[in-house]
């Protein structure tokens, strides 16, 4: 009987009644919020998703009051390549960071890092082949790509030469913050350069699209445009998409 009477005593029944009331309240406000969101037009949404472009960014969709929409991804291949390369240290960090405080570790990070390291080596080999046929305008990008891939491959290989304890070459026993910081410092000049270049490329490629949409909407309707930039990462006042939105909505 006690198990079947799951509402419990008066105190528990009181708690459950408030919990259910709260759940219903959240359900109703969620429905209303969704309906309000579907009534915001014109609306421009900038995302970092797309076929083969997850995490790259540059996809812009505008939603019109008549239910129609347009989606474009105007950013260049150089933008995509530089941003993809810049995410390599994030991938490595995500694999090894749980083990930074251990003196010995034989966790799954070695297997995961090996797989990621093989991807880096493959990209490095392909980039080397591409350098042979690179045009004049691609030499700087290829050279930066080779440097970033070689630095990352060297760092990954260092940790895969060990089996959980010091080997005959004196390899460290596990991943350390110090070693990762050294790797990051070596990579930083290329990351800094890529950030500056990709920001300029994004502004160059996106602003003409927004101007085109403004022309289609008309000056008065453009004043009503909303811009949304959903992201899982914290942003700040120098966020590129934020600056694009700030400079073009509705100032174009």
List, for residues 155-185, the tens digit of each pLDDT value.
Answer: 999 877 654 444 444 544 678 899 999 999 9
167 touches 118 (CB < 8 A): no
Is residue 111 assigned to a domain? yes
Q: What share of the chain has pLDDT > 70, as a percent?
A: 78
- Determine the pLDDT at residue 244: 60
**Alpha carbon distance 102, 105 (integer Å):** 6
pLDDT 10s digits, 222-252: 988 888 877 655 555 556 556 665 655 555 5
Better-predicted residue by pLDDT, 61 or 37: 61
Is residue 181 assigned to a domain? yes
- Determine the pLDDT at residue 148: 96
Angle subtended by helix axes 177-217 and 77-86, to nearest 10 = 150
What residue numbers bound the domain in which 139 lies?
Answer: 77-198
Domain count of the fold of the chain: 1
Is residue 87 assigned to a domain? yes
Is residue 124 assigned to a domain? yes
Is residue 46 assigned to a domain? no
Helix residue spans in the chain (DSSP H): 10-37, 77-86, 88-96, 109-132, 139-160, 177-217, 219-222, 240-248
Is residue 114 assigned to a domain? yes
Q: Which two tokens stand for residue 103?
A: 């003196």
Q: Looking at the DSSP assignment, which residues form a beta bridge with residue 61?
A: 45, 71
């Amino acid at each position: 009987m006690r198990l079947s009477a799951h509402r419990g005593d008066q105190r528990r029944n009181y708690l459950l009644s408030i919990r259910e009331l709260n759940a219903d309240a959240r359900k109703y406000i969620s429905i209303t919020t969704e309906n309000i969101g579907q009534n915001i037009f014109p609306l421009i949404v900038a995302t970092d998703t797309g076929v083969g472009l997850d995490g790259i960014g540059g996809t812009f969709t505008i939603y019109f009051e008549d239910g129609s929409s347009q989606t474009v991804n105007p950013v260049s291949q150089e933008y995509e390549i530089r941003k993809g390369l810049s995410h390599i240290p994030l991938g490595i960090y995500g694999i090894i960071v749980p083990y930074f405080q251990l003196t010995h570790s034989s966790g799954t990070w070695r297997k995961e890092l090996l797989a990621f390291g093989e991807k880096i080596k493959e990209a490095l080999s392909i980039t080397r082949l591409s350098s042979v046929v690179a045009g004049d305008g691609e030499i700087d990008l290829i050279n930066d790509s080779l440097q970033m891939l070689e630095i990352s491959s060297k760092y990954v290989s260092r940790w895969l030469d060990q089996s959980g304890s010091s080997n005959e070459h004196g390899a460290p026993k596990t991943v350390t913050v110090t070693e990762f910081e050294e790797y990051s410092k070596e990579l930083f000049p290329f990351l800094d350069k890529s950030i500056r270049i990709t920001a300029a490329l994004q502004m160059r490629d996106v602003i003409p699209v927004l101007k085109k949409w403004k022309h289609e909407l008309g000056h008065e309707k453009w004043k009503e445009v909303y811009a949304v930039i959903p992201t899982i990462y914290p942003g700040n006042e120098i966020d590129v998409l934020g600056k694009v939105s700030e400079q073009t909505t509705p100032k174009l």
